[in-house]
Amino acid sequence: MPNPSVFFVSDGTGITAETFGNAILAQFEVKFRHIRIPFVDSVDKAHQAVRQILHTGEIEGRKPIVFTTLVNMEVLSVILEGCKEKTMLMDMFSIFVNPLEKELGIKSNHRVGRFSDASKSQEYRDRIEAINFSLAHDDGQLNRDLELSDVILVGVSRSGKTPTSLYLAMQHGLKASNYPLIPEDFERRQLPPALMPHKKKIFGLTIQPERLSEIRNERRPDSKYASLANCRHEVAEAEAMMRRAGIRWLSTTHKSIEEIATTILQEINPERLIY
């Protein structure tokens, strides 16, 4: 029996449909076959989507699962009509938006999700600017404009600073700088002096020495840099330094960048937060 097919049908990118669908599908120990049908913004394309979905259902001999985030009523009704009884359709808007209209006492405007026309909005431009800022301030490259940072991450090399910075920029529109902690910081036993005026924006990342050594060995096998002894030394020094400086920090060893970013947002609570 093939893996159950799941369709994500949307007038836009389908990202909302897929994020939500994935969260639900993750509850099952089944591998699903994902089929994205984005940009369904006309009745024609809706009919085409219905044909594709029903055809799959016939071949597989079971009801396909369909997640939709369609807001155009005409397009939605083609999908609803075409898919009813022959698929497992989960239309997220009609289930949630309608009750909300009642509660708020206002009509919704039925526009396509958060990404549409984004490029024209100041919010979107700020987000792109945040990505550029975070790239320019990666790995302590640039001290200039440091005061414009919303968050400054510190930690030893390969503790997860760069992916976390880029995630904070891309998803939350935050300007995130990051600084590696290096031997001269350990000798001085202090965080890099350039950072001290911005202490309340600083967040530390640490990592188990064993995992760090693994990661570094992928990059520079059998180097002193990657040796467990050196990783132990650097991590111990960095943690001691963060404790002394009284900054907030966490261990990234068992955390995804999404979890790290969520914790940072809670702790730093930046004034400027786009999403």
In the region spanning residues 210 to 239, those forming contacts with a second copy, defined by CB under 8 A, are none
Cα 263 from Cα 245, distance rounded (Å): 19
Q: Which of 45, 198, 248, 255 binds a second copy (CB under 8 A)?
A: 255
Judged by CB under 8 A, the number of residues near a second copy is 72
10 annotated as belonging to a binding site for a ligand: no
Q: Which of 80, 90, 182, 245 binds a second copy (CB under 8 A)?
A: 90
Provide the minimum distance between the beta carbon of 96 and a second copy in the complex, in angstroms, as a whole number.
Answer: 5
Quickly tell me which residue has 């497992």 as its tokens.
88
- Binding flag, residue 168, a second copy (CB under 8 A): no
Provide the minimum distance between the beta carbon of 268 and a second copy in the complex, in angstroms, as a whole number.
Answer: 13
Q: Which of 5, 12, 159, 179 binds a second copy (CB under 8 A)?
A: 12
Residue 104 or 246: the one with the smaller Cβ distance to a second copy is: 104
Q: Which of 51, 110, 188, 244 binds a second copy (CB under 8 A)?
A: 110
252 annotated as belonging to a binding site for a ligand: no
Cα 25 from Cα 8, distance rounded (Å): 12
Q: Which positions from 22 through 81 interact with a second copy, judged by CB under 8 A?
A: 22-24, 26-30, 36, 38-39, 63, 65, 69, 71
12 annotated as belonging to a binding site for a ligand: no
The number of helices, as runs of H, and strands, as runs of E, in the chain is 10, 8
158 annotated as belonging to a binding site for a ligand: yes
Our measurement of the distance from residue 77's CA atom to the centroid of its chain's CA atoms, rounded to an integer in Å, reads: 32
Give the torsion through C-alpha atoms of 174, 177, 181, 187, to 10 deg. Answer: -120
160 annotated as belonging to a binding site for a ligand: yes
DSSP secondary structure of 130-194: HHHHHHHTGGG---TTGGG-SEEEEESTTSSHHHHHHHHHHHH---EEEEE--HHHHHHTS--GG
Q: Which stretch binds a second copy (CB under 8 A): 50-58, 90-98, 197-205, 230-238?
A: 90-98
157 annotated as belonging to a binding site for a ligand: yes
Name the token pair of 175.
Answer: 């300007």
Q: Which of 3, 132, 190, 223 binds a second copy (CB under 8 A)?
A: 132
Provide the minimum distance between the beta carbon of 188 and a second copy in the complex, in angstroms, as a whole number.
Answer: 29
Give the helix/strand (H/E) hosting 91.
strand 88-91
DSSP secondary structure of 251-273: E-TT--HHHHHHHHHHHH--S--
Instruction: Using only the alpha carbons of the chain, give its radius of gyration.
Output: 24
- Binding flag, residue 142, a second copy (CB under 8 A): no
Provide the minimum distance between the beta carbon of 149 and a second copy in the complex, in angstroms, as a whole number.
Answer: 18
Answer yes or no: are the C-beta atoms of 207 and 253 closer than 8 Å. Answer: yes
- Binding flag, residue 166, a second copy (CB under 8 A): yes
Q: Which stretch binds a second copy (CB under 8 A): 7-15, 73-81, 149-157, 240-248?
A: 7-15
Closest CA to 148 of 117, 169, 123, 163: 169
Q: Which residues are annotated as a binding site for ADP?
A: 155-162
